[in-house]
Chains A and B, each alone.
Chain A
Amino acid sequence: MSLASAALTVAAAAPHGFLSPTGVEITFLLVSVVTLAAALVTVTTRQLVHAALWLVATLGGLAVEYLLLTAEFIAWMQVLIYVGSVVVLLLFGLMLTKAPIGRSPDADSGNRWAALTVAVAAAAALVWVVVDAFRTTWIDLAGAPSGTTKITGASLFQYWVLPFEALSVLLLAALVGAIVLSRKAKGEATTTASTPAVPGTRSEKEGVR
């Protein structure tokens, strides 16, 4: 293949190579296989609750990938917010909409094959472009990690203070909006009126953190 030969010629010039992957690369590949498989099961399984649980595996795998890329703070935020609260919210949503336990034959809609065609075409195009553009690019992971809490906090509060504060206003608006949307009108208020608001506010609190 022309790609492999091009990589080999580059490998001769650079100290890196496809044929001598480092331990980090092997770990990254293994974890990415697990992550991708869990993502595929998430979008294809017919048991709705299992889809949410496979999503946990996908998001946890991505947290490990962040750790391998030396972005510690993002990794722990991923575990806290996504695995901790978003998945719980999704499970709440599944239960409050009375999703059937067990197999539901109509989990996929009729345009499944069209969706598969679009997704495969998009994947082929994206992978081709990305590989062609970055096949000679290497991340230098040696040295001090670039995503510790100290470095991320410093850059966040030195250069990104205004977006950060604007984001807190957005989260407040989302909180109020979720409460308003999930509240019943006054006449027909019952005990179920308050339950949808609880997961909504929880996620916002986690998001501010």
Chain B
Amino acid sequence: MHLVYPAVLSALLFCTGLYGVLARRNAVLVLMSVELMLNAVNLNLVAFDVWLSRTARETLHSGQALTLFTIAIAAAEIGIGLAIVLAVYRNRGTSDIDRLRDTAEGHETDALAAEKAEATA
């Protein structure tokens, strides 16, 4: 099989995930897009591992081992990420990323004013 097929598919999947991360507003949908990007990397790892194990007689199978590690880390990441999203939702009542702007630079003055009011009270 031509190596370009899996490599191009993986690049396109990665860019689809990139678009999702940048354009989506709901935090859970952003996590889905991150999963897409991780899967693109996995496909690359598997394809190049199969290629190297044939042409270079590489016996470590590093690509497949790293793919398994990536899958496990992605499972951990999705668990922690959803726990954080749920905590944010419980505190704020929303999971829109656009509304979580407490550390944004434009709102600095408001936060400072609120802090000052708290300090004086």
Contacts and interface: CB of A to CB of B under 8 A. Distances in A.
A151 B23 contact: no
Interface residues of A, number: 101
B76 A97 contact: no
Q: Which of B31, B59, B72 has the most CB of A within 10 A?
A: B72
Q: Which of B17, B80, B82 has the most CB of A within 10 A?
A: B82
A52 B35 CA distance: 11
B83 interface: yes
Given A25-B5, A93-B28, A123-B11, A196 B86 contact: yes
Contacts of A18: 2
A167 to B, nearest CB: 6
Contacts, number: 282
Interface of B: 1-9, 11-20, 22-29, 31-33, 35-36, 39, 42-43, 46-47, 49-51, 53-55, 59-61, 64-65, 67-69, 71-80, 82-87, 89-90, 95-98
30 contacts: A36-B16, A55-B36, A65-B9, A70-B50, A71-B50, A74-B46, A74-B64, A74-B67, A82-B35, A93-B28, A96-B89, A99-B28, A107-B25, A108-B23, A109-B25, A123-B11, A127-B8, A130-B8, A137-B3, A138-B3, A139-B50, A139-B54, A155-B59, A155-B64, A159-B60, A163-B69, A170-B76, A174-B76, A200-B80, A207-B76
Given A96-B86, A156-B61, 7 more contacts: A36-B13, A43-B16, A55-B36, A81-B71, A89-B78, A109-B97, A203-B76
